[in-house]
Amino acid sequence: MKKIKTFIRFIKGLLLKFLKFTVNLFKRFLIFIHRKKRRAIPFYGLFGYIVLVIFLVKISGDSAYNKTLANKRVNDVTQINPIQVGQVVQPHSTKEIIKAIQTTNGKISIGGGRFSMGGQTGYNNSLHIDMREFNKVISIDKDKKQVKVQAGITWRDLQKEIDKENLSVKIMQTYANFTVGGSISVNCHGRYIGHGPIISSVLELKLISASGKILIANREQNVDIFKAAIGGYGGIGVIVEATLQLEDNVKVERYTKMVDLTDYNNFFSTNIRNDTNVIFQNGDLYPPNYDVINNISWKKTAKELTDTTRVTPEGENYWLESILVDVVSWGNFGKWVRRKLIDPYIYGSDKIVWRNKEASYDVAELEPKSRAEKTYVLQEYFIPVNNIQAFIPKMKAVYEKYDVNIINVSLRHAFPDKESFLSWADEEVFAFVIYYKQGTDNESKEVVKKWTIEMTDAILSENGKWYLPYQPHATIEQFKSGFPNSDQYFAVKNGIDSLHRFNNKLLDKYNPYLKPLIERERENIKDYYRDEEQTVLTVPEWYLVFNPKEYADYLEEGKNPSDFPFYASIDEYWKLYDRSQKLVSEAYPANKEYNTMLQVIGVSVTMEYAVKISYENTIGTFFGWFANDSISQKEATIIEAQRAYSNFIYNTAWYEFKFMPWIGKVWKASDNNDASWLREWERTLFFTVEFSFKAFYAQLIGLAAESSYEEPTTDIYLLVSSEKELEGINNVTVIKHQNDKKIIAIPRWGTFTETILKLSDQNIDVIEIGGNDEIVVSYLMNKGTHHKFDNLEVLYSSDVVTNINKIRLVAMLPVNNLLPFVHYTKNNSIELEHVFDY
Ligand SMILES: Cc1cc2nc3c(=O)[nH]c(=O)nc-3n(C[C@H](O)[C@H](O)[C@H](O)COP(=O)(O)OP(=O)(O)OC[C@H]3O[C@@H](n4cnc5c(N)ncnc54)[C@H](O)[C@@H]3O)c2cc1C
């Protein structure tokens, strides 16, 4: 206690000293400034200016705005596969699923627990059916040891119910967070001995097809659908119900043994394979040498429990486990710590638990503190039992070549599955479950892709297969050789879902029926996909184009430039900024870089307008009193310059504008005798200072842009459907076409809006723009007038600062409604101001 007090006193002393030092420094600085007036005036001028800018930023904006866009991003546990879907439904009944399917006509993706790791649960702009709320136990037949469930139920929720009857899931994964539908759709497996994939425990499925029809599939009825849907990755239909075989919940005791890799096959076949008392088993193969296996098996027992928990509860704190996983990821030292310290500690004690307890681990125990820069990912290889000794050196060589940070390799056993079309076990195999750490940046992703393709070759060379719920890096050729029965799977799919509505990133890559589609070309076009949030976020940036236009309009109308509403303009910018930030806050990942840019330009314009407010409300107003009705040539040229600038920035970065020649033009313009010479010269000088400063600032920004910015994307790509040739239309380039479908490119920015205005008179259906299904537009209307256009969501209204009778509406609409809406504005005297092109 005494020590703590002394320490606090010491810290207090230090802080006081620092405070004194700072105050003294400031005092000295003030004395220095006050010693001479020529220092004090600029100092206080600058100080006042900074205070004014901060004040203006603080009092501007719209912090009360609270509308947010719906979150339509589907991602998985790794956080590296975000997919923007078009609509998310969370059904509670079969009827709701049928309705969702029948009232839409686009692609459909299905999500369970979202633990698959390569876009298997999402597809861009699709109707996403999130099954997690469709999660009831329908019936339990205690005598037959069978259960019927809704497919969105998690294993843990099911375990909680069947545990009451002392029953247990027959086959499932190690962790209990997965949904039954998701597990069946990947044909999962676990550490169970004497079994293979889950299919052998599935008795019947109820599915909803792409047309909304209910189908029952089992080993007698709709047999092909049964074989295709299990391990079918949501490509056949929505599994709404499943009937599963259960087993008794028994007590199990843990046994561990270190086995040399070379002895493993022999050890396994002698001690584990045929022992009906072994319920769970796995062998941990230690990196980086991959020469010893820690065999962990759980055998039925009648002994006393060491832990009486029946099912692992949710919400436990796994801080220690999370740290341990992190420690193991510290290179070879971490691997040594695991083998020599962590594992001996974990497996050092006796353990006798319920089967349900051992089958209900929580994935939370693997969750790191953050997945922002590094994430943990799984892969799994299925190698025929007799080929593992030959495979392991090949696997090791790939990991060593690419310096892959392997945390764990867990071997499990599976008997063959001759039923499912996408079967991963044609023969008896050992599954190698690989847990590794990777970077989340694009470069790291590319490296993973490279080594995964090499690993897939190694797997194929030993007649193995790999697990499809993980990143689908394998090439189409590799997929075909690994899964030769995929032809049968896709034939069944094509028969029941001929429009291939059920889709996701995995099926999209390997489905041979999708091959000829023009949609495939999208992946080959650089910058085809644009981030959807950009259409919302770019509005304030565009305000800095609309506002100079308003200024030029204002001057052309002969109004007094000193009366221009500079403060209202700043306020409007920050309002648009606050609103766009709020709108995207829940729907999209944070776009820090763009937000910083918006803050920088917002502060820059506030600084510029703060000067103008100060000047125009004092000197500007004073000289305005001398103005008469005539306008001098110089002032007319200034107006021309402001117009040229405002036109220029619709299509080009502001800092590329040539400011200096306009100063020359203004000075060269002849004097006009009728106009007030005082006002003329005051305006000329003010303009000269303004444009000179902008020219200087533009040079600086231009240099910075050259050295740091990437080449900007100049075109936006649209997928459209049109019978008409579009070749001749100005600014439209047809990149690819197939029948009526076309991928066209249109230059971005101002030209984009102009071209959309032109296209609105053509018979064209827009399918997507920049890979997105929604876009933001702004349009101007007289206050008090109303319009009605379906499917248009007005996000907010904004002021036209120079005209109190007008209002700017910022709205979001589906891209397929863009051209009809533009057409509507034309026919209803609504001024379409801008289409925000991401
Ligand atoms: C930490 C961890 C450990 C794992 N351990 C194992 C393991 O031991 N054994 C193993 O086999 N796998 C394991 N996996 C992989 C896991 O089994 C699969 O990813 C499984 O699909 C997860 O279930 P889910 O509910 O999250 O499914 P999701 O990832 O949500 O979906 C998987 C696929 O099923 C489809 N789908 C989901 N629900 C339905 C439905 N109702 N109807 C039709 N299609 C549907 C989806 O469209 C998708 O294609 C593990 C994964 C993780 C992250």
| Closest approach atom of ligand 1 to CA 115 | 26
Determine the distance separating the centroid of ligand 1 and the alpha carbon of 184, expressed in angstroms: 8
**3-state SS, one letter per residue, for 182-200:** HHHHHCCCCCECCCCCHHH
Determine the distance separating the centroid of ligand 1 and the alpha carbon of 741, expressed in angstroms: 35
Determine the distance separating the centroid of ligand 1 and the alpha carbon of 469, expressed in angstroms: 7
Determine the distance separating the centroid of ligand 1 and the alpha carbon of 185, expressed in angstroms: 7
Q: Cα–Cα distance between 30 and 677 in angstroms, integer? A: 43
Average pLDDT over the chain reads: 95
Sign of the dihedral through C-alpha 406, 407, 411, 412: negative
Provide the token pair at 278. Answer: 């072994």
Determine the distance separating the centroid of ligand 1 and the alpha carbon of 24, expressed in angstroms: 65
123 touches ligand 1 (CB under 6 Å): no
Determine the distance separating the centroid of ligand 1 and the alpha carbon of 343, expressed in angstroms: 28
Contact 522, 743 (CB under 8 A): yes
**Contacts (Cβ under 8 Å, ≥6 apart) of 459:** 381, 383, 391, 465, 466, 482
Determine the distance separating the centroid of ligand 1 and the alpha carbon of 115, expressed in angstroms: 5
The whole-number pLDDT of residue 435 equals 97
190 touches ligand 1 (CB under 6 Å): yes
Q: How confident is the model at residue 42 (pLDDT cuts 50, 70, 90)?
A: confident
Mutation test residue for ligand 1: of 97, 131, 149, 185, the one with most atoms within 8 Å of CB:
185
The whole-number pLDDT of residue 709 equals 64
Provide the token pair at 693. Answer: 């400063």
Q: Cα–Cα distance between 115 and 824 in angstroms, integer? A: 45
Instruction: State pTM to two decimals.
Output: 0.86
Mutation test residue for ligand 1: of 78, 178, 321, the one with most atoms within 8 Å of CB:
178
Contact 140, 214 (CB under 8 A): no
| Closest approach atom of ligand 1 to CA 229 | 43
| Closest approach atom of ligand 1 to CA 207 | 42
Q: How confident is the model at residue 671 (pLDDT cuts 50, 70, 90)?
A: confident
233 touches ligand 1 (CB under 6 Å): yes
Provide the token pair at 673. Answer: 């005798």
Nearest CA to ligand 1 atom 7: 173
**Contacts (Cβ under 8 Å, ≥6 apart) of 404:** 398, 436, 451
Give me the amino acid identity at 500: H
- Tally the C-alpha atoms within 13 A of residue 128's C-alpha that lie toward its C-beta: 24
The whole-number pLDDT of residue 35 equals 84
Cα separations (Å) of 710 from 179, 206, 321, 540, 706?
Answer: 43, 51, 42, 22, 8
Write the DSSP string, 772-803: BSEEEEEEEEETT-----TT-EEEEEEE-TT-
Report pLDDT digits (tens) over 295-311.
999 999 999 999 999 99
Q: Cα–Cα distance between 628 and 617 in angstroms, integer? A: 18
Determine the distance separating the centroid of ligand 1 and the alpha carbon of 485, expressed in angstroms: 21
Q: Is the pLDDT of residue 358 over 90?
A: yes
Determine the distance separating the centroid of ligand 1 and the alpha carbon of 376, expressed in angstroms: 16
The whole-number pLDDT of residue 735 equals 94
114 touches ligand 1 (CB under 6 Å): yes
Report pLDDT digits (tens) over 763-779.
999 999 999 999 999 99
Q: 389: buried, middle or exposed (CB in 10 Å: 19+, 13-18, 0-12)?
A: middle
208 touches ligand 1 (CB under 6 Å): no
Coil, helix or strand for 498? coil
Picking from 354, 356, 361, the residue whose alpha carbon sits closest to that of residue 252 is 354
Distance of CA 612 to the CA centre of its chain: 41
363 touches ligand 1 (CB under 6 Å): yes
Q: How confident is the model at residue 590 (pLDDT cuts 50, 70, 90)?
A: confident
**Contacts (Cβ under 8 Å, ≥6 apart) of 449:** 471, 473
Q: How confident is the model at residue 787 (pLDDT cuts 50, 70, 90)?
A: confident
Determine the distance separating the centroid of ligand 1 and the alpha carbon of 320, expressed in angstroms: 26
Q: Cα–Cα distance between 582 and 580 in angstroms, integer? A: 5
Determine the distance separating the centroid of ligand 1 and the alpha carbon of 114, expressed in angstroms: 7
Cα separations (Å) of 566 from 519, 614, 801?
Answer: 47, 10, 9
Which residue carries 């990991």 as its tokens?
399
Determine the distance separating the centroid of ligand 1 and the alpha carbon of 133, expressed in angstroms: 16
Q: Cα–Cα distance between 632 and 387 in angstroms, integer? A: 92
Q: Is the pLDDT of residue 504 over 90?
A: yes
Contact 745, 805 (CB under 8 A): no
206 touches ligand 1 (CB under 6 Å): no
Nearest CA to ligand 1 atom 3: 175
Q: How confident is the model at residue 32 (pLDDT cuts 50, 70, 90)?
A: confident
Q: Is the pLDDT of residue 280 over 90?
A: yes
Mutation test residue for ligand 1: of 110, 153, 189, 282, the one with most atoms within 8 Å of CB:
110
Q: Cα–Cα distance between 448 and 382 in angstroms, integer? A: 19
Contact 156, 176 (CB under 8 A): yes
328 touches ligand 1 (CB under 6 Å): no
Count Cβ atoms below 10 Å from residue 704 Cβ, excluding itself. Answer: 11
Report pLDDT digits (tens) over 789-831.
988 999 999 999 999 999 999 999 999 999 999 999 999 989 9
Mutation test residue for ligand 1: of 186, 187, 407, the one with most atoms within 8 Å of CB:
186
Q: Is the pLDDT of residue 706 over 90?
A: no
Contact 632, 682 (CB under 8 A): no
377 touches ligand 1 (CB under 6 Å): no
| Closest approach atom of ligand 1 to CA 234 | 44
- φ and ψ at 406, to 5 degrees? -85, 125
Cα separations (Å) of 695 from 46, 589, 661, 690?
Answer: 22, 36, 10, 9
The whole-number pLDDT of residue 333 equals 95
Angle subtended at Cα 524 by Cα 519 and Cα 528, rounded to the nearest 5 degrees: 75
Sign of the dihedral through C-alpha 85, 90, 94, 100: negative
The whole-number pLDDT of residue 515 equals 76
Contact 238, 185 (CB under 8 A): no
Report pLDDT digits (tens) over 208-244.
999 999 999 999 999 999 999 999 999 999 999 999 9
The whole-number pLDDT of residue 159 equals 98
234 touches ligand 1 (CB under 6 Å): yes
Q: How confident is the model at residue 1 (pLDDT cuts 50, 70, 90)?
A: low
Report pLDDT digits (tens) over 173-189.
999 999 999 999 999 99
β strands within 385-521, DSSP E: 405-414, 429-439, 465-466
The percent of residues above 70 in pLDDT, for the chain, comes to: 99
β strands within 446-572, DSSP E: 465-466
Mutation test residue for ligand 1: of 177, 179, 497, the one with most atoms within 8 Å of CB:
179
Angle subtended at Cα 205 by Cα 199 and Cα 211, rounded to the nearest 5 degrees: 125
Report pLDDT digits (tens) over 66-107.
999 999 999 999 999 999 999 999 999 999 999 999 999 999
156 touches ligand 1 (CB under 6 Å): no
- φ and ψ at 296, to 5 degrees? -120, 115
Q: Is the pLDDT of residue 10 over 90?
A: no
Picking from 110, 112, 107, 117, the residue whose alpha carbon sits closest to that of residue 79 is 117
Determine the distance separating the centroid of ligand 1 and the alpha carbon of 734, expressed in angstroms: 40
Determine the distance separating the centroid of ligand 1 and the alpha carbon of 117, expressed in angstroms: 9
Determine the distance separating the centroid of ligand 1 and the alpha carbon of 234, expressed in angstroms: 11
Q: Is the pLDDT of residue 672 over 80?
A: no
Q: How confident is the model at residue 611 (pLDDT cuts 50, 70, 90)?
A: very high
